[in-house]
Structures are given as structure tokens and as C-alpha cells.
Homo-oligomer: A and B are copies of this chain.
Amino acid sequence: METGALLTDLYELHMMQSYHALGMQGTAVFDMAVRKLPEGRNFLVAAGIEQVIDYLTGLRFTDEDLGWLDNTGKFSSAFVRWLADFRFTGCLDALPEGTVFFGDEHVLRVTAPIAEAQLVESRIINLMQLPILVASKAVRCVLAAQGREVIDFGLRRAHGAEAAVLGARACFLAGYSATATVQAGQRFDIPLAGTLAHAFIQAHDSEEQAFAAAARTCPGGCALLVDTYDVPRALDRVARLALHLREKGEGRIDAVRIDSGDLAAQSRLARGVLDQAGLGDVRIIVSGDLDEHRIATLVGEGAPIDAFGVGTQVITSADAPCLDCAYKLAEYEGRPRRKRSAGRQSWPGRKQLYRCRDDDGAIVHDTIGLECEAVQGCPLLEPMMRDGKRVCPDATLAHLRQTLRTQLASLSPELLGLGPARALPVHISTGLRALVEEVDRHFP
């Protein structure tokens, strides 16, 4: 999903041109921080860093881009020529994917010549926001499912192609067992899962025929959709077919899927019918506008469900489809900077996030402090790129899932719950507070 250097805001190019014309080549430090947690989230999950590294590594203006820029009449020829050799030569520090974080904290820091660090603002936020949103909601579904499988069914309702594929990755990072999105499986080696659509059932002259055809043509086992016409009747048909297949040794029915109606009642009905027929190994998958709250309710009611197919609500992070985040200049040419815009103040200087844990490893509080300051706690931002090159090890998705699982174990039950929790304390170091005062004295 190559998107190119022109996936940026016009003002980034305007500013680059000005920096270039002014000879401003100093090093800038930018932070991407989330100002506050969205309602309905007690913590967020860092995600999308891998894609940011890919983007920065491959960043080039193609001849076509340059010709087009030249033709707009908005840019000088000298600037356009300079862009031909443009590369990202800077440094990237970030929270490793799967790290949990909280409001006011920064997830990423770019240190680079200012024109480079400026250009990448728009795309970095665009690349990071969705994976963070999706991972942070998906993990709530995984927690609510209490060990039952959760499967990503999000492609169709994702906001475009990239959201679908990166969203599927974020779901898997959060602990889902599989995705239905084939391209995500292909690109990230995520296990794929899929059943049948109503259309398959409807295209046959009867439901019995459709079920038999599905079983015959999916010799590896199939999941039958039972709510096209009438669920109880469909379940009887599944049971008869499964027994028939077992007798003949011809194929297998793995699961039934229920996609509408009262999922608790229908899953109980399904379990009853299947068990009575000796089909205890046929699993029950449910779907249909599920989110963490509906999953928790179904689990709480003891509904005999083996897997939840979750799409729309998570892939769009429907209850919080955007993050209040920003990418802000914190230092230029070694001098700290901050903005003071009403309600949108930013922290100056080269910062680090420090995490304090108790003796059992539980997170007690975080501190936003200066990198050069002695602050209690473990630093969280890690080097990802130096001089335009990746320096962090390749991490498999399996490894990132493990990072997140470990982190979850260090959160209190209250933060892990679906209801609102008291915020984890995030302190500001004395060094950082002093720096704010100093910067404000210089910029009246």
C-alpha cells in the first residue's frame, strides 16, 4: 500500500519551501501525543509504529510527483529540484507496539532536520491514529470474551482499504484469533477465518440443499449460517446433515453461525439441538454489530458461544472514531519550544516517559519528564530509527501480542474493566515544569 510523499497536507509543503528558502536546516524534535483518553477507554494500546518506519524509510518524491508540483505554480523550481533528493535522515523513538499508555502521553518522537520532520506530520498521525484506536477497542473485546475467540469481520465497514488491512493487524495485535480479511492474512500472516454469507444459502432452492452443498465443497470442514430463514428449522437441518455426513464419513460441519436476533437465546437453542444429536464438537459462532459490551453481556449470561465475529464497532472504533492527538514541535536547534493555544498547550523539550511499578509489577504511575533528567521509573520510548535507518529489531506480531499480554497483567482490574475507571496518575517531572516556565518567559 505505497502511498507516496504527496500524501501530506499542502501546508507541510508550504512550510518546507519556506524552511528551504530561509536556510533553516536545524534539527527539530516533534512529539506525537494523545491529549486525553477518549470516553470509554481506560488505557490505549500503541500500534502502527511498524508502518511509520516503512513510510519514513521509503519516503521519496517520484518524478511524477515533482512534475506535478512544478505544474501547480505554487512552488519554486529550486525547491522542487531540492525535493528530488529528499530522504528522511532523522531519528524515530516510540513506544513499542503493544505498550499500554494513557492521556497526555506521547507515543512517538521524531528528531530530524525541520523540513523532514515537518513533511511527515500528516501521514504519521494518519498512520498511527487508526491502529491505536482499533487495538485499544479490540483489546476490550478480547478481555470481555474471557478466553473465547474473537475474529475480525471488519473489512466491509472499515473506512477504505488501508483501514481494513491495518485495522485487522491491530485486532490481531490486541489478541484476536483470526481475521476474515484475506489481504491482511496475506500481508501480515494473520490466520484467516470465514464462514458463509446468506447469499450462498439463498442461491440454493432450499436451505437443506445449500447446507449439503457447502459441506460437500468444503471438505476441510465448514461453518453453516443458520439465520437466513428460521433458526430452529435450520438447526434441525444442520443436525440431520452432520449425522448423515458422519455416518458416510463424507466431510464435516465445524460450526454454526448466528448473525441476528437474540444471540444468547439462539446460541442456547443451538447448543441444545447440537448436543442432543451428539454433536458436541460443532462450535457456535455469533456475529452482528457486536462490541465489548454486548460480548460481556453474552458471556455474563453464560451463552454457550465459542467465537465472536466482530466487525463494524471495532474497525471504526465507533464510539470513539478519532483521537485527540497532535504532533507538536518541542525543540528547534537545541532550544525548547511549546505552544500555548487555549486548551492545546504542548510540553517542550526532549522528553521521555517513565513508568513506575510496584513490587508485583503492577503499574503505579507514569511520569512525563526530560530525557536528560533523573526520573524514577523505566523509560518507555525506544529507539526505532537512527539517521534514517531502522535500528529496532524486527518484531513478529506474535511477539507484539505477547508484549501487550504482559502489559495487561500489570494493569489493575479497574483499568481492565469495561466501565470508567479512575485514571492512572500521570505526573509531570519537576524538570519539565521548570522548562515550561523558562520557555514561556522567552515567548511572551
Q: List residues of A whose CB falls within 8 A of some B CB.
A: 1, 3-4, 6-15, 17-19, 21-22, 24, 26, 28, 30, 65, 68, 72, 74, 114, 118, 121-123, 125-127, 129-130, 153, 155-167, 180-183, 185-186, 192-203, 206-207, 213-214, 216-218, 220, 222, 227-230, 233, 259-262, 312-313, 316-318, 321-323, 327-329, 332, 337-344, 443-444
Number of copies: 2
| Given A7-B182, A9-B156, A227-B342, 16 additional A-B pairs, CB 8 A | A7-B155, A10-B181, A14-B194, A121-B199, A122-B155, A125-B156, A125-B157, A126-B156, A126-B157, A126-B158, A129-B156, A159-B160, A160-B162, A162-B162, A261-B341, A318-B322
Question: In whole angstroms, how far apart are the Cα atoms of A409 and B259 in the complex?
Answer: 40
With contact pairs A166-B160, A213-B18, A260-B344 given, residues A11 and B194 touching in the complex (Cβ less than 8 Å): yes
Q: Nearest residue in B to A17 (C-beta to C-beta)? A: B217
Q: Nearest residue in B to A311 (C-beta to C-beta)? A: B322
Which of B4, B15, B156, B217 contacts A18 (CB under 8 A)? B217
Instruction: Determine whether the beta carbon of A193 is less than 8 Å from that of B338.
Output: no
Which of B193, B213, B229 contacts A340 (CB under 8 A)? B229
A30 neighbours in B (Cβ, 8 Å): 199
A203 neighbours in B (Cβ, 8 Å): 19, 24, 26, 28, 114, 329, 332, 337
Instruction: Determine whether the beta carbon of B229 is less than 8 Å from that of A9.
Output: no
Question: In whole angstroms, how far apart are the Cα atoms of A293 and B13 in the complex?
Answer: 31
Instruction: Determine whether the beta carbon of A321 is less than 8 Å from that of B328.
Output: no
16 A-B residue pairings within 8 Å (CB atoms): A4-B183, A8-B181, A9-B156, A9-B180, A10-B193, A68-B186, A118-B200, A123-B161, A130-B159, A157-B322, A159-B321, A160-B166, A198-B328, A227-B341, A227-B342, A228-B340
Question: In whole angstroms, how far apart are the Cα atoms of A181 and B262 in the complex?
Answer: 44
A227 neighbours in B (Cβ, 8 Å): 341-342
Instruction: Determine whether the beta carbon of B332 is less than 8 Å from that of A321.
Output: no
A182 neighbours in B (Cβ, 8 Å): 6-10, 13
Which of B4, B192, B229, B261 contacts A444 (CB under 8 A)? B229
Instruction: Determine whether the beta carbon of A196 is less than 8 Å from that of B14.
Output: yes
Name which of A14, A193, A201 has the most chain B CB atoms within 10 A of its CB: A14
> Closest CB-CB distance, A79 to chain B, in whole Å?
10
> Closest CB-CB distance, A214 to chain B, in whole Å?
6
Instruction: Determine whether the beta carbon of B342 is less than 8 Å from that of A260.
Output: yes
Question: In whole angstroms, how far apart are the Cα atoms of A220 and B18 in the complex?
Answer: 12
Q: Nearest residue in B to A223 (C-beta to C-beta)? A: B11
Instruction: Determine whether the beta carbon of A322 is less than 8 Å from that of B329.
Output: no
Question: In whole angstroms, how far apart are the Cα atoms of A199 and B339 in the complex?
Answer: 8
Which of B153, B217, B341 contacts A260 (CB under 8 A)? B341
A207 neighbours in B (Cβ, 8 Å): 443
Question: In whole angstroms, how far apart are the Cα atoms of A338 and B123 in the complex?
Answer: 43
Instruction: Determine whether the beta carbon of A185 is less than 8 Å from that of B10.
Output: yes
With contact pairs A14-B194, A129-B156, A443-B229 given, residues A161 and B3 touching in the complex (Cβ less than 8 Å): yes
Instruction: Determine whether the beta carbon of B22 is less than 8 Å from that of A217.
Output: yes
A343 neighbours in B (Cβ, 8 Å): 260-261
Instruction: Determine whether the beta carbon of A261 is less than 8 Å from that of B195.
Output: no
With contact pairs A161-B7, A163-B163, A322-B318 given, residues A121 and B197 touching in the complex (Cβ less than 8 Å): yes
Question: In whole angstroms, how far apart are the Cα atoms of A153 and B126 in the complex?
Answer: 12
> Closest CB-CB distance, A51 to chain B, in whole Å?
10
Question: In whole angstroms, how far apart are the Cα atoms of A192 and B10 in the complex?
Answer: 7
Instruction: Determine whether the beta carbon of B198 is less than 8 Å from that of A329.
Output: yes
Q: Identify the 6 closest CB pairs spanning chains A and B, nearest first.
A: A10-B194, A160-B162, A11-B194, A159-B159, A261-B342, A18-B217
